[in-house]
Structure 1
Amino acid sequence: MLHNQIKRDIKQCYENLGIQLDNFIPRRAQNYLVAEIAKTLAGEYHAKHRMLVAEAGTGIGKSLSYLLGGIPFALFNNKKILISTATVALQEQLIHKDLPLFNQIFPKEFSFILAKGRQRYCCSHKLEASCITGGDQQVALWEEKPKKSDLDLLKRMQKALESQKWDGDKDSWPTSIPDRVWQQIVADKHSCNSGMPKHRSCPFSKAREHLEKADVIVANHALLMADIELGGGIILPEPEQTIYLIDEAHHLPQVARDFSSAAASLKGAANWLEKLNQSISKLAEVADYQKAGRFQSALSEAISHLIPTLRQISAQIDPAMFNKDGVYRFEHGELPSWLEEEAKGCKEASKKAAKSLGKIHDLIAERVKESEVSPRLGDQALAESGFYLQRLENLEKVWLLMAQPNKDKGAPLARWIEKSPDREDDYIIEVSPLEVGHRLDQLLWSRAAGSILVSATLRALNQFDYFCRQAGIFDKDATRFLALASPFDYQNNARLVIPAMPLEPQAQQFTDLLIKTLPEYLEGEKSSLVLFSSYWQMNQVAEALKPLMKKNQWELLVQGEESRSLTLKKHKENCKKGKTSVLFGTGSFSEGLDLPGDLLTNLIITKIPFAVPTSPVEEAHAEYIESRGGNPFLQISVPEASKKLIQSAGRLLRKEQDSGRVVLLDRRIINRRYGKALLDSLPPFKRVIEYT
């Protein structure tokens, strides 16, 4: 049961909110969401499986709801709050706006912090080693010889770090740091060693100390996945002591899939393995030959297997087998027998190499800790061994997944080879799971103290089933589900217009039809957004309509011609001046674009956003569903299109007083059997369906 003290705290927050915000209007849906979050976390629906999945439409106030429902409960029960988002924009909103406001209205003190992964911090050991002049080690790990400007920048950074004028956070350095420079000094799990002399002053270590003290931590989905893949509680608090507030939750399955994937080049890997081979003796010497001798031998032996094998695999690949995108996918994830055998050998060799180098790395760290080698020599050796160790662990993951036999139950792995974009004569081996739900359930949901998942678009075709399969929410009876409609007056403030188009989007002449039709629906509108399914079609239409736009004195702003921020800035300036402004964009403009009021009153969607399964993972998933007698179009394409169409339509009304129209130039929503389900899943716009 929810403790009375928590109820009092939530009530006090609401009262304070009314005092703090002049125009605050209590919303019934928001109050309900807050209550359901608090009751779920208190175990009122299920004592062990404390999970709520809530789709909350635009305007409900999701972030304030989960802060109100989550923080009072967590603090009372001595739990941590981890808010995970998909976008930087939402993180910034939480850190700079929502959490400071909540701190003012909450009757008790609490602290909050933005969490970043190791890759955002420099390693003080690596930075010092990179600044030491007069030695081959200085340039050993660079892809090419460093420029003088690179070395000068490193020295300035070290000086600033030592004088505490810089905290080692990449984002707080006043200028942009080139990737080639940052990769030399970035913190990694091998350079972060508690036994190192500078560990306590290490930027990432300091950041971890602040994280451990904070009550509320804001992170992104990638950092959350990185932590739970390591076992949980390594970077972020332990799942068992954490209440997870997952915002923009519809992105989590894709992030989880990316984290479970792996890729490595063939000749590229052989080349850096050669460099490592040349450094083994030097590293073993720093580690102490007597202790490191057997690990040195094992590492050399493993590398002597890997280098020729990787080159031999590359030589056996037939360039004619690739498609026009430079990809060859293994059907049903099944490798040819020769590659299956090579994969097993590479798996064992890369595992042996990683384990052996790891032992050498540990011995060096021990000697540095005991001051048995000079810090200069030890730091450089650790930086070098850590660099190669990370690459070996990735190589081991690739070949472990490549050699893994397909299971009798569940989806196979997607496996494919891609032509390297960097080297004409090289290939990249890639592996990805098709479904990650079981992994999320095992590593996160089954361990968490509580999980609240929210988004404006979690349902597909008015059902949560598709999201549950993706996200690993298998115990539906124990999970609380909510679908809260937006408080906006769609019937009176917005229309959905479906014109009488003579052609459907798959017709060859549809682009020409768009060029002819669009001006009719742009006429008389001051602020328009036109969403296309492809860059190619968008650019074709834009080029054809530019003369007309110029003649009518309409300003056309096309995605990709300038940066997103500059494009939107120009659009806002046009609207402010009363000038007609037309935005052309693709899929990325259908989500996260906030143009309230007069900034958008006319939204045109050129077609239902069906994704063609062109990526190897999508193709493999469709193939798997077909192999089980399913229909990938109805099971994947239609639900995904439903979500994307809802997101696209959601660009129109951003605030309660907004108004306008959505024009959908795709008659399939009327003519096809699946169309009614897509139409009914959209917000309740007033519908205007035109007929010839």
Structure 2
Amino acid sequence: MSRRFVVIDFETTGNSAAKGDRIIQIGAVVVEAGKITDRFSTFVQPGVPIPPFIEQLTGIKDEMVSDAPLFEEVAPKLLQMLEGAYFVAHNVMFDYSFLQGELDRCGYSPLSMPLIDTVELSRMLLLGADGYQLGMLAEYLGLEHENPHQADSDADVTAKLLMHLLDKLEGLPLLTLERLTPFLKKLQSSIEDIVSDMIAEKSAFLADEDTFDFYRKLALRKTKLASKKEQDGYISSHEEIESLDLQNDLKNHMAHYEVRESQQKMVQLVEEALNTNQHLVVEAGTGVGKSLGYLIPGVRFAKEQDRPLVVSTHTVQLQQQLLERDVPLLKKIMPFDFTATVLKGRNHYLCLRKFEHTLQDHHDDNYDMNFTKAQMIIWLTETELGDVEELSMASGGKLFWNTVKSDANSCLNHRCPWFSRCYYHKQRRAAHESDIVITNHALLFTDLKSDSQLLPGYKEAVLDEAHHIEDVVSDHYGKETDYFAFLKLLDRLSTTESDGMINTLAEMVDLLEVKDHEKHLSGWDRTFADVKNELDEMFKRIKSICLTKAKKSRSAELTKLTTRYTKDDVQSAAWEPVLEMGERARHFINDLTKPVKRLLKSVQNHEEHLTFKQKGFLVDLEGLLDDLQDESSELQHLLSCPLSQEVYWLEAESKGPRHAVKLHAKPVEIDQLLADDFFAKKNSVIMTSATMSVKNKFSYMMERLGLLDFGPINAQLPSPFEYEKQAKLMIPTDIPLINEVDQKTFVNRISSSLYDIAKVTKGRMLVLFTSYEMLRETHSAFKNLMKQEEFVLIAQGVDSGSRARLTKNFQRFDNSILFGTNSFWEGIDIPGDDLSCLVIIRLPFTPPDQPVMEAKSEKLKAAGGNPFYDLSLPQAIIRFKQGFGRLVRSSRDKGAVFVFDRRMIETRYGKSFVQSLPKLPVSIKPVEELVEELEEWMD
């Protein structure tokens, strides 16, 4: 059946027809049988002035619409086009509701027609897109978009996008379309009938069994993982490996490749460390090319020794970069083949068993859950890894992910019919067969403390982004819990919920006629209520303690309260009722889980009568009970403060729920732990980062990580960039220190200074903060300074989206300014003209009352050290160097770094920050003079 789709785009004077906003331009494109068959566009006389912002956004001015027809005059033509058609738009409810409002104003009856939202369909079908704005999708699909934000151009691009989406939908396997059908009813887009016709047409065709694996009513993308045994052409001769002409091969395969002495030196150092069983600490400045600097000798060594090299990074982005950019390049230049596999923590991977079960129940789904299931059914036809990083999910989708992700406590292993196709186990098998295993620090140290071996046996490792190791290890050996961690687990058991797991178990027991099952669950509901009551009262009491302690300190004024507690505190009278309630809660949890486990065993004795779904349910229930017991053990640990080498603290929102408080514990130092459990057991560990040294020495990092006794090789490899020509450091003398004025005055001063700089740089600025609160206030103050929409402001925590998405948006727009904190100090790469100026608002010192910092400082002081010079300052310098490194990313970049913190020039320690940077010109003047100098320099 042939359908007509009319793709509509309106440019308007604002967001609401009801509030007097009007249409100023109409673009309409008709699509039939996969082709564009008609177009219509016109300006419209709105009868009201076009606001300056709309004029700047669209380029449409009052004089362009002054002689245009009124909406009443073009409405008949538009309605004629729409008759019997689907109404299609990018964000359909905006255009459809605007049209309804305008028709109502002109005396027409309301429209009633099927709608299609190309945003919704794109999110479902185009999983690899970086974002779903029309311009981003046009770029992703290679569609020409001549005049963004003009209705004719936008409608044309949306029509082409629609055709692509319908083609993609039609190209899905029959089984996938059938599986999608139940989830289409709740979508905004009316595509049920379209998919139904596609199913009818497809039933005559043969399934594509070369591309897809059809199993248990799901279509999966077929994957073939190469193993070592399948590789050919391995050159084992050391001489042949040595003869590799690195420079020539890199020049042939890389655009803009430049010979880098530092990279060659790094290759030699890594080779020496691996071959002599030594550890290596190497600081490789920006632009050295450290990934290839360790991968080239690492791959050689792995092949020669026939054992894997583990490469660990801190960020997912670097893992993907290694696999997608560096490994393919190496495969071209190495004289032998090799395998490389990325392995992440199992919570990154989809559990097909759990997902299959959720598809059988879709009656109570909300929109997000319904949409995410549809999205994932399509994703299965594309993904080879089953890795959640490939999906772009709304917050409701992320909640759904928690119910279908892979989990050790609920894995059936070999008993699961999905085992041979399990994404996590496939990746583990591939990793155990690989020469290079790319993982992350979190999994590396989870493996270190795990009873079961997650990574293949290895003796050599590379730790990239190694300045994060201390924090990651501290996190992994730490503990935390709160009321909601218990509530999440208990709610899944509850008999008051229709889908509560205990209810499902009781139904199974009745069905199987298990004897004496009533006595197992006798009084269970009462115990369940007792557990919740004890935990509720206990966490309320703990929050009260947290608030009382905070009132005695300056943190009482903050919304987020943090307060340490010690062994002495928990032995005080105030904590006595907390400990009693904690002990009762522990006993109640035991009383809750033991009878259910006994009943589980009884049911499992009837295994021959159980379906696969029932067996899976029992494993999930057993895993949930284990999780509850684990949470209970964590709570007991946190309440008893058993370890002198740990720091304990409470965190609460002052205005949050009465029981909303979190308990934390972390080791104060991890040096001995790493020395004994990691470095002593490995032949060679290479640690590298652009920021490993403080004042050109490695002693701080080596001491923190427990490396001093091993006498590692260490080296500083300078960046090949010419910082003296490419960068300037500018420090204003007239911006107040934050403790000299109130925060509002400080924010207004830095906002006006940022505005003056931005006018010279035409935006293209990254502003780094040390607190979200100041970022939000500065963003708001800057906005008030702008004339119309002079700059595009993108702010972390204000604008939604991941770091990668915010960075991409920043690069897409001219005159854009990116406000970031925390994660934006490192790991973002904005080369070229997109970034010309970096502003560091304050030197990045960790607050001295941060619990772990405070505990480390106390320990240092007790040992005769100086907490500021031995701990706070080195940490801040490393962080500062990371922030500085965002500016110059290639030999063609040029830009200025402003530091709005006079401590850099007025304190004894300030020069340490300057000394930590590459040699570059430094200007110290009032803001006005620096702006003039910047303008001359940039010209």
Q: Same fold, TM exceeding 0.5?
A: yes
How far apart are residue 675 of structure 1 and its match?
Answer: 1.4
State how 1:128-147 maps to structure 2 within 5 Å: 128-132=356-360, 146-147=365-366
Higher RCO, 1 vs 2 (CA within 8 Å, ≥6 residues apart): 1
Task: Give the one of 401, 412, 418 matched to 1:182.
Answer: 401
Conserved? CA contact 1:416–1:430, under 8 Å: yes
Gap change, CA 1:658 and 1:22, over 3 Å in 2: closer
Task: Give the one of 800, 811, 827 matched to 1:572.
Answer: 811
State how 1:477-488 maps to structure 2 within 5 Å: 477=711, 479-488=712-721
Gap change, CA 1:237 and 1:305, over 3 Å in 2: farther
Gap change, CA 1:446 and 1:598, over 3 Å in 2: same
How far apart are residue 688 of structure 1 and its match?
Answer: 2.8
The aligned amino acid for 1:528 is M
Give the paired residue count: 663
Gap change, CA 1:372 and 1:208, over 3 Å in 2: farther
Gap change, CA 1:350 and 1:58, over 3 Å in 2: farther
Q: Which range moved further: 263-272 or 483-492?
A: 263-272
How far apart are residue 73 of structure 1 and its match?
Answer: 0.6
Cross-structure match for 1:110: 338
Gap change, CA 1:110 and 1:570, over 3 Å in 2: closer
1-structure distance, mates of 2:905, 2:701: 25
Cross-structure match for 1:386: 623
How far apart are residue 384 of structure 1 and its match?
Answer: 1.9
Task: Give the one of 375, 385, 402 matched to 2:612.
Answer: 375
Task: Give the one of 328, 338, 342 matched to 1:100.
Answer: 328
Unaligned runs of 5+ in 1: 140-144
Gap change, CA 1:556 and 1:373, over 3 Å in 2: closer
Cross-structure match for 2:226: none
**Pair 1:218 & 2:446 matched:** no
Task: Give the one of 471, 478, 483 matched to 1:254.
Answer: 471
Task: Report SS of the residue matched to 1:190.
Answer: helix
Conserved? CA contact 1:354–1:396, under 8 Å: no
State how 1:417-496 maps to structure 2 within 5 Å: 418=652, 423-477=657-711, 479-496=712-729
**Pair 1:314 & 2:539 matched:** yes
Task: Report SS of the residue matched to 2:893.
Answer: coil
The aligned amino acid for 1:257 is S
Gap change, CA 1:645 and 1:78, over 3 Å in 2: same
Conserved? CA contact 1:326–1:419, under 8 Å: yes
Task: Give the one of 895, 902, 919 matched to 1:660.
Answer: 895
Conserved? CA contact 1:364–1:382, under 8 Å: no
Cross-structure match for 1:336: 570
Cross-structure match for 1:513: 749
How far apart are residue 682 of structure 1 and its match?
Answer: 1.6
2-structure distance, mates of 1:612, 1:7: 54
Task: Report SS of the residue matched to 2:439.
Answer: strand
The aligned amino acid for 1:385 is E
**Pair 1:632 & 2:867 matched:** yes
2-structure distance, mates of 1:127, 1:304: 31
State how 1:12-161 maps to structure 2 within 5 Å: 12=244, 14=246, 15-21=248-254, 23-43=256-276, 47=277, 50-132=278-360, 146-147=365-366, 150=369
Gap change, CA 1:515 and 1:227, over 3 Å in 2: same
How far apart are residue 605 of structure 1 and its match?
Answer: 2.4
**Pair 1:678 & 2:913 matched:** yes
Cross-structure match for 1:142: none
Cross-structure match for 2:731: 498
How far apart are residue 602 of structure 1 and its match?
Answer: 2.8
Conserved? CA contact 2:342–2:427, under 8 Å: no
How far apart are residue 681 of structure 1 and its match?
Answer: 1.1
Conserved? CA contact 2:730–2:896, under 8 Å: yes
Conserved? CA contact 2:735–2:750, under 8 Å: no
Conserved? CA contact 1:295–1:360, under 8 Å: yes
Cross-structure match for 1:525: 761
CA deviation map 1:457-489 (0-9, x unaligned): 122343323323433324242x11111111112
Gap change, CA 1:376 and 1:559, over 3 Å in 2: closer
Conserved? CA contact 2:563–2:649, under 8 Å: yes
The aligned amino acid for 1:436 is I
Gap change, CA 1:11 and 1:663, over 3 Å in 2: farther
Unaligned runs of 5+ in 2: 1-234, 496-500, 551-555, 930-939
How far apart are residue 401 of structure 1 and its match?
Answer: 4.5
1-structure distance, mates of 2:796, 2:882: 18
How far apart are residue 589 of structure 1 and its match?
Answer: 2.9
Task: Report SS of the residue matched to 1:429.
Answer: strand
How far apart are residue 226 of structure 1 and its match?
Answer: 2.5
Task: Give the one of 254, 266, 269 matched to 2:486.
Answer: 269
How far apart are residue 270 of structure 1 and its match?
Answer: 6.6
Gap change, CA 1:153 and 1:98, over 3 Å in 2: closer
The aligned amino acid for 1:95 is L
**Pair 1:191 & 2:402 matched:** no
1-structure distance, mates of 2:614, 2:431: 32
Cross-structure match for 1:604: 839
The aligned amino acid for 2:904 is I
Task: Report SS of the residue matched to 1:79.
Answer: coil
How far apart are residue 123 of structure 1 and its match?
Answer: 2.6
How far apart are residue 20 of structure 1 and its match?
Answer: 3.0
Task: Give the one of 426, 430, 443 matched to 1:206.
Answer: 426
Gap change, CA 1:513 and 1:293, over 3 Å in 2: same
The aligned amino acid for 1:434 is V
2-structure distance, mates of 1:627, 1:416: 24
2-structure distance, mates of 1:422, 1:229: 35
The aligned amino acid for 2:479 is A
2-structure distance, mates of 1:34, 1:437: 28
How far apart are residue 93 of structure 1 and its match?
Answer: 1.4
Conserved? CA contact 1:559–1:586, under 8 Å: yes
Task: Report SS of the residue matched to 2:244.
Answer: helix
Task: Report SS of the residue matched to 2:481.
Answer: strand
Task: Report SS of the residue matched to 1:496.
Answer: strand
How far apart are residue 67 of structure 1 and its match?
Answer: 0.6
Conserved? CA contact 1:274–1:307, under 8 Å: no
1-structure distance, mates of 2:788, 2:525: 71
How far apart are residue 54 of structure 1 and its match?
Answer: 0.9
2-structure distance, mates of 1:105, 1:33: 18
Conserved? CA contact 2:460–2:684, under 8 Å: yes
Task: Report SS of the residue matched to 2:766.
Answer: strand
The aligned amino acid for 2:731 is I
Q: TM-score, normalised by structure 2?
A: 0.62
1-structure distance, mates of 2:430, 2:461: 19
How far apart are residue 543 of structure 1 and its match?
Answer: 3.9
Structure showing greater radius of gyration is: 2
